Structure 1
Amino acid sequence: MIKKVQLPLQTLNLVVGFMVWVIISALLPFIIEDISIPADKLAILTAIPVVLGSVLRIPLGYYANLFGARLVFLISFILLLFPVYYISEASSFTDLVIGGLFLGIGGAVFSVGVTSLPKYYAKEKHGLVNGIYGAGNIGTAITTFAAPVIATQIGWSMTVKLYLILLLFFAALNIFFGDRKEVKVKTPLMEQIKGVYKNEKLWFFSLFYFITFGSFVAFTVYLPNFLVDYFQLDKVDAGMRTAGFIAVATFLRPVGGWLADKFQPLFLLMGVFVTYTVAAIILAFSPSIGLYTVGCMAIAVSAGIGNGVIFKLVPFYFNKQAGTVNGIVSMVGGLGGFFPPLLLASIYSITGQYSIGFMLLSQVALASLVLVVWLYYMDRLSLSAEVFKSTGQGILVTDSHGKIKAVNPAFTQLTEYKEADVLNQNPNILSSGRHNEEFYQKMWAQIKEQGEWQGEIWNRRKSGEEYLQWLNISAVKDDTGEDVRYVGTFTDITEEHKKRKHE
Structure 2
Amino acid sequence: MTDLTDGRPFAAGSESRWTTIAAGWLLLLFVGAYLITPASLLPLVMSDLGITEATAAALVSMPQVAATVIGIPVGIYLDRVETRVTVPCAAAVLLVGSAGDWVAASGGTVSLLIASRLFAGVGMFVLWVVCINVAASTFPPTRRATATSVIISGYPAGYALGHLGAPRVAAVVGWPGVFPAFGVAVLVTSVAFYVAVGRVSRFHTSTEPMTLLGFKQVVRNRNVWAVLAVTVLGYSLYMMFNSWMPTYITRRFGVPLAESGAFVALFPAVGVFARPIGGWLSDAVLGQRRRPVFAGSFVGATVLAVAMFYSTTIAVLVTILVLAGVFVQLQIGLMYQSIQEFVEPRAAGTAVSLASVAGWLGSFVAPVVAGELVASTGIDAALFVFAVGLGLTGGLTVWQMAESGESTALV
Alignment partners' CA distance in 2, 1:259 and 1:358:
28
Per-residue CA deviation, residues 176-214 of structure 1 (Å, 9 max, x unaligned), is 333399747352375543121111111111111212223
Matches within 5 A, 1:52-131: 52-90=66-104, 91=107, 92-105=109-122, 107-108=124-125, 109-131=127-149
Matches within 5 A, 1:413-452: none
Q: How many Å apart are 1:245 and its aligned residue? A: 0.7
Aligned CA distance change for structure 1 residues 193 and 12 (closer, same or farther; 3 Å): farther
Q: Which deviates further from its counterpart, 4-13 or 257-266?
A: 4-13
Per-residue CA deviation, residues 330-367 of structure 1 (Å, 9 max, x unaligned), is 21112111122221222222222244453343234223
Q: Which is bigger in relative contact order (C-alpha 8 A, separation at least 6)?
A: 2
**TM-score, normalised by the number of residues in structure 2:** 0.83
- Tell me the residue number matched to 2:215: 193
| Residue of structure 2 aligned with 1:303, choices 328, 336, 355 | 328
- Tell me the residue number matched to 2:257: 235
> Where do 5+ consecutive residues of structure 2 fail to align?
1-12
Asked if 2 retains the 8 angstrom alpha-carbon contact of 1:282 and 1:291, the reply is no
Per-residue CA deviation, residues 249-273 of structure 1 (Å, 9 max, x unaligned), is 3321011001110213212222222
- Tell me the residue number matched to 1:333: 359
Task: Return the letter of the residue paired with 2:235.
Answer: F
**TM-score, normalised by the number of residues in structure 1:** 0.69
Aligned CA distance change for structure 1 residues 34 and 6 (closer, same or farther; 3 Å): same
Per-residue CA deviation, residues 127-186 of structure 1 (Å, 9 max, x unaligned), is 110110110111121122112112212322333332343233234334533339974735
Alignment partners' CA distance in 2, 1:11 and 1:283:
31
Asked if 1 retains the 8 angstrom alpha-carbon contact of 2:67 and 2:121, the reply is yes
Match of 2:318, SS state, is: helix
Task: Return the letter of the residue paired with 1:277.
Answer: T
Alignment partners' CA distance in 2, 1:122 and 1:203:
26
Alignment partners' CA distance in 1, 2:374 and 2:296:
30
- Tell me the residue number matched to 2:9: none
- 1:17 matches 2:36: no
Aligned CA distance change for structure 1 residues 15 and 319 (closer, same or farther; 3 Å): farther
Select the structure of larger CA radius of gyration: 1
Per-residue CA deviation, residues 270-300 of structure 1 (Å, 9 max, x unaligned), is 2222212212333455754344334423321
- 1:169 matches 2:194: no
- 1:257 matches 2:269: no
- 1:132 matches 2:154: no
Match of 2:275, SS state, is: helix
More strand by share: 1
Asked if 2 retains the 8 angstrom alpha-carbon contact of 1:222 and 1:341, the reply is yes
Per-residue CA deviation, residues 50-74 of structure 1 (Å, 9 max, x unaligned), is 3124444434432332223312322
Task: Return the letter of the residue paired with 1:101.
Answer: L
Task: Return the letter of the residue paired with 1:76.
Answer: A
Match of 1:188, SS state, is: coil
Per-residue CA deviation, residues 97-134 of structure 1 (Å, 9 max, x unaligned), is 12222232354232222223212211110111011011
- 1:150 matches 2:169: yes
Alignment partners' CA distance in 1, 2:374 and 2:148:
37
Task: Return the letter of the residue paired with 1:172.
Answer: V
- 1:345 matches 2:371: yes
Alignment partners' CA distance in 1, 2:119 and 2:251:
28
Alignment partners' CA distance in 1, 2:326 and 2:35:
22
More helix by share: 2
- 1:362 matches 2:388: yes
